[in-house]
Amino acid sequence: MAKLIDGKAISQAIRDEVRDEIAAGGIKASLAVVLVGNDPASTVYVNNKKKACEYCGIRSVSYELPEDTTEEKLLSLIDELNNDPEINGILVQLPVPKGINEDHVIEAISPMKDVDGFSKASVGALSIGDKGFVSCTPAGIIELLKRSDIDIDGKRCVVVGRSNIVGKPAAMLLLRENGTVTVTHSHTKDLASITREADILVVAIGKPEFITSEYVKPGAAVIDVGIHRLDPEKNNGKKLCGDVKFDEVEPVAGYITPVPGGVGPMTIAMLMKNTVAAYKMQH
Ligand code: GUN
């Protein structure tokens, strides 16, 4: 039976730490939250980010732009926010509508305000061990491990998935913590033989319940980044699942994150931490 890594409780503890730090330090941090269009999932994420800001005592300034916003218009807003001393962090919720180039948007955000850590400057800094913003989901994974007393130093870490937002930065962070890291992906041959070597297995492939027990070494720490909607009527009332087949892997693993309530809540908690770090960097 695996020990459950409680992302809900850990993320709450981080939000409380951020709130206490803000209150004690007279910090007046503010985050610009930009949503273009009305994608329902993005709307939920953005609202949760604004709620977390309110909880922590961060001022959130919301920009809701229509679906047909031009790239030029969005880039001009980002430019304005870059130059506004009252704004410490800028978050443009992704994906942006077709017709707007995501790379242009990410690169337009000043590295000093890039609280998502998606820009080339932030990613480059992470890969050479320089200071800079680390993207929130991978940073959250490291916090989950550390706060569950799972030592990374010297451990075999296997990351399944190589996205710019999760897989690659998660690998860089595990490496920074002195893990021995292997990154696997859709072209990897005999994936299970590699994942079975992992003491720490981070799964971010976007395939529902892909990782079954034969992929997992007994006692391993399994971090599931996936989140997929299920039809509750066909799944015994279950509404969500991850990339890991929880019921099958849980008896084998030493530690496991549930979905929901594992990695998910950590992303927003780390965004709050990054926003305070941005404020401090700018003052
Ligand atoms: N879309 C999905 N995840 C994220 C995230 O962490 N940040 C932003 N800006 N957009 C996202």
pLDDT score at 57: 98
Residue 22: the pLDDT is 98
Taking the centre of ligand 1 as the mean of its atom positions, its distance from the CA of residue 182, in whole angstroms, is: 25
CB neighbour list of residue 256: distance below 8 Å, 6 or more residues apart: 2, 3, 4, 5, 221, 222, 224, 244, 246, 249, 250, 262
Which residues are CB-contacts of 276 (< 8 A; sequence separation ≥ 6)? 18, 21, 22, 27, 29, 58
SS (H, E, C) the chain: CCEECCHHHHHHHHHHHHHHHHHHHCCCCEEEEEEECCCHHHHHHHHHHHHHHHHHCCEEEEEEECCCCCHHHHHHHHHHHHCCCCCCEEEECCCCCCCCCHHHHHHHCCHHHCCCCCCHHHHHHHHHCCCCCCCHHHHHHHHHHHHCCCCCCCCEEEEECCCCCCHHHHHHHHHHCCCEEEEECCCCCCHHHHHCCCCEEEECCCCCCCECHHHCCCCCEEEECCCEECCHHHCCCCCEECCECHHHHCCCCCEECCCCCCCHHHHHHHHHHHHHHHHHHHC
pLDDT (0 to 100) of residue 169: 98
- Tens of pLDDT, residue by residue over 122-178, are 999 999 999 999 999 999 999 999 999 999 999 999 999 999 999 999 999 999 999
Q: What is the pLDDT of residues 178-224, one digit of tens each?
A: 999 999 999 999 999 999 999 999 999 999 999 999 999 999 999 99
pLDDT value of position 111: 97
Cβ(13) to ligand 1 under 6 A? Answer: no
Do the beta carbons of residue 164 and residue 148 sit within 8 Å?
Answer: no
pLDDT at 149: 98
Q: How far is CA 132 from CA 122, 197, 201, 247, in A?
A: 5, 31, 25, 38
- The model's pLDDT over 215-261, given as tens digits with 9 standing for 90+, comes to 999 999 999 999 999 999 999 999 999 999 999 999 999 999 999 99
pLDDT given at position 110: 98
CB 267 less than 6 A from any atom of ligand 1: yes
- Which of 31, 35, 45, 90 to mutate for ligand 1's pocket (most ligand atoms within 8 Å of CB)? 45
Residue spans of the domains in the chain: they are 25-113, 136-264
Mutational pocket test of ligand 1: of 116, 163, 225, the residue with most ligand atoms within 8 Å of the beta carbon: 116
25-113 and 136-264 have identical folds: yes
Domain 25-113, CATH among 1.10.10.10, 3.30.420.10, 1.10.357.10, 3.40.50.10860? 3.40.50.10860
Question: Closest Cα to atom 1, ligand 1: which residue?
Answer: 94
What is 136-264's CATH topology?
Rossmann fold (3.40.50)
Active site amino acids: 49, 93, 116
Ligand 1 atom closest to residue 135's alpha carbon, by position in its atom list: 6
- Rounded to whole angstroms, how far apart are CA atoms 46 and 50? 6
Q: Does ligand 1 come within 6 angstroms of the Cβ of 114?
A: no
pLDDT of residue 99: 95
Q: Residue of the nearest CA to atom 2 in ligand 1? A: 94
- How confident is the model at residue 138, as a pLDDT? 98
What pLDDT score was predicted for residue 265? 97
Does the CB atom of residue 93 touch ligand 1 within 6 A?
yes
Q: pLDDT tens digits, residue range 65-97?
A: 999 999 999 999 999 999 999 999 999 999 999
Provide the pLDDT for residue 39. Answer: 95
**Which residue did the predictor score with more confidence, 1 or 33?**
33
The response to whether residue 91 sits with its C-beta less than 6 Å from ligand 1 reads: yes
Q: Is the CB of 94 under 6 A from ligand 1?
A: yes
Neighbour count for residue 195 (Cβ, 10 Å)? 23
Atom of ligand 1 nearest to the CA of 267: 6
